[in-house]
Amino acid sequence: MKNYFFIMSRREIINKQFYFRDPAIVAMELLGKLLIRKINSIELGGMIVETEAYYGVYDPASRAYKGKINKISKVMYEEGGTTLIYMVHGNWLFNVITGPEGTPSGVLIRAIEPIIGIKYMIKNRGINDIKNLTNGPGKLCRALNIDKSLNGCKVYDKDSPIIICKYVTIDKTKIMRSHRIGVKEDLPIPLRFYIKGNKYVSKY
């Protein structure tokens, strides 16, 4: 745990207003932030290196495209900074809601770089390969022991089991964007953001 004191000295939870903005802006600015999962007294976490933005009702790839039709799309209407977790293809995916209450948009966290509690993540994932620990949306949920019981948490609340903190600032020239992965019908603008050259990004 070589950077432990550095990390702790930097720890500062991002305020609620951060999430009350356009999902693409939030997705971009979440790169380089620290995602921390608290389980009793232990902590697991890492730096966010890949995200995707989703625009509620205007977005055919969004679960809220057809309105408040199920549990997932209802959570999307909650206020910014709320967690949204749902199952796809047998994997939990972790999202953070953006915008004020009533605007169904959010950011999918696709990959993190493991930093805190790596040995516990190895245990949760059942593999030793560090670079494959959290380089995918389903993988990072398993590594951090995230499931639907964590739906509706506030990532800006210090007592929440999942929080997001300031960490490092990513140089604009290192922020790359592309089209989203796995969606059948994407919007014309690229909404996937990732850190150039980071080896924990899921693809490319």
Partner DNA sequence: CTGTCGATCTACT
Partner DNA sequence: GTAGATCGACAGG
Q: Which is nearer to DNA, 133 or 155 (CB)?
A: 133
Minimal distance in Å, beta carbon 127 to DNA? 6
CB of 195 to DNA, least distance (A): 17
Residues in contact with DNA, counted by CB under 7 A, come to a total of 30
Q: Does 114 bind DNA (CB under 7 A)?
A: no
62 contacts DNA (rule: CB under 7 A):
yes
Nearest to 141 by CA among 89, 93, 201, 200: 93
Determine which residue in the list 114, 137, 146, 156 makes contact with DNA, applying CB under 7 A: 137
**52 touches DNA (CB under 7 A):** yes
DSSP state of 130: G
Among 80, 136, 160, 161, binds DNA (CB under 7 A): 136
Residues 77-106 interacting with DNA (rule: CB under 7 A): 87-91, 93
Q: How far is the CB of 171 from DNA (least distance, A)?
A: 26
Residues 143-202 that bind DNA (CB under 7 A): 147-148, 181-184, 202
SS3 content of the chain, % helix, strand, coil (to 5): 25, 30, 45
Q: Which is nearer to DNA, 90 or 197 (CB)?
A: 90
**Would you give the distance in Å from CA 110 to the centre of its chain?**
6
- Signed CA dihedral, 46, 47, 48, 50: sign only: negative
Q: Which two tokens stand for residue 78?
A: 């909650």
Residue 16, both tokens: 């609620």
**Tokens 């796995």 correspond to what residue?**
182
**Collapsed DSSP state (helix, strand, coil) of residue 200:** coil
> Which C-beta is closer to DNA: that of 7 or that of 75?
75
Burial readout 132-144 (b: 16 or more C-beta within 10 A, e: otherwise): ebbbbbbbbbbbb
Query: Which residues of the chain form contacts with DNA (CB under 7 A)?
Result: 52, 54, 61-63, 69-72, 87-91, 93, 108, 125, 127, 132, 136-139, 147-148, 181-184, 202
